[in-house]
Structure 1
Amino acid sequence: MELVNKNEVVVREDRNLLVITHLSQYLDFVTGFGGLIVPLVIWLTTKDSVIGMHEHGKSVINFQLTLILYLVIGIPGILLFGLGILLLVFAGILAVVMPAVNAIKASNGESPSYFGTIRFLS
């Protein structure tokens, strides 16, 4: 479905691209850094032309920034208190489960919801 808004930008529904945006977070496990960069590029280039991309892209970026924050807090927490391992395990479970759950939601046309995410971008 294609719509044309006031600025003559063609707006289309592309659930596959929304799914790819969520699943691209798994690049962190392959490259170590692609899980933030690739969704950011997809979001910035298509947020005005794909229906729902603005909402899904912000959710992915907020989630990735939250995971980075958890790691920054958790690693010194291991050395100082030993309890940082719990935060890292929590972040690891979230990093594996939540992108898949939200990719399924995106394919069904539902709004994303990432558990434990701090909203840096609103």
Structure 2
Amino acid sequence: MFAHLSALLGGLLTGWAGGIGCFLGPLVIWLLKRETMPFVDDQAKEALNFNITLAGLFLILFLLGLLTLGIGFIIAIPIMLIVGVTALVFIVIAAIKSNEGVAYRYPIALRLIK
């Protein structure tokens, strides 16, 4: 549960820096608990993969806006808002499910860490 919620907290605390901290919490939890707690290992990897995917998507959308000299932000900002709200919903669901002991899989995540 803390791996999922730490991603949310990291994103909020580093919002001024583009939310880059969204994957630091799950990364720390995964590195500390991966060998001793299999369920925490699984859920921390899931949270980490999801938040790396989100960070990559937001970076692509931001670059789209910059490379089009600001015109792309007309499209990028609404997409960022929709993705952000959707991610918030998924993170809350994941935290609730993992607190119940149920392994949660985000519907959209690149499985970079296995």
The answer to whether the superposition gives a TM-score over 0.5 is yes
Gap regions ≥5 residues in structure 2: none
Give the match for residue 42 of structure 1: 29
Tell me, yes or no, if structure 1 residue 30 matches structure 2 residue 13.
yes
Q: Quote the RMSD (CA, aligned, Å).
A: 1.8
Cα distance in 1 between the residues matched to 2:52 and 2:71: 23
Larger gyration radius, structure 1 or structure 2: 1
Cα distance in 1 between the residues matched to 2:21 and 2:71: 29
Give the match for residue 58 of structure 2: 71
Partner amino acid for 2:79? L
Q: Which has the higher strand share?
A: 1
| Paired residues, number | 104
Match of 2:90, SS state, is helix
Partner amino acid for 1:29? L
TM-score computed with the length of structure 1 as normaliser = 0.73
Sort the Cα spacing of 1:34 and 1:76 in 2 relative to 1 into closer, same or farther, 3 A: closer
Judge conservation of contact 1:70–1:91 (CA < 8 Å) in 2. Answer: no
Partner amino acid for 1:25? A
Identity among equivalent pairs (%):
28
Gap regions ≥5 residues in structure 1: 1-18
Judge conservation of contact 1:77–1:85 (CA < 8 Å) in 2. Answer: no
List 4+ stretches of structure 1 deviating above 6 A: none
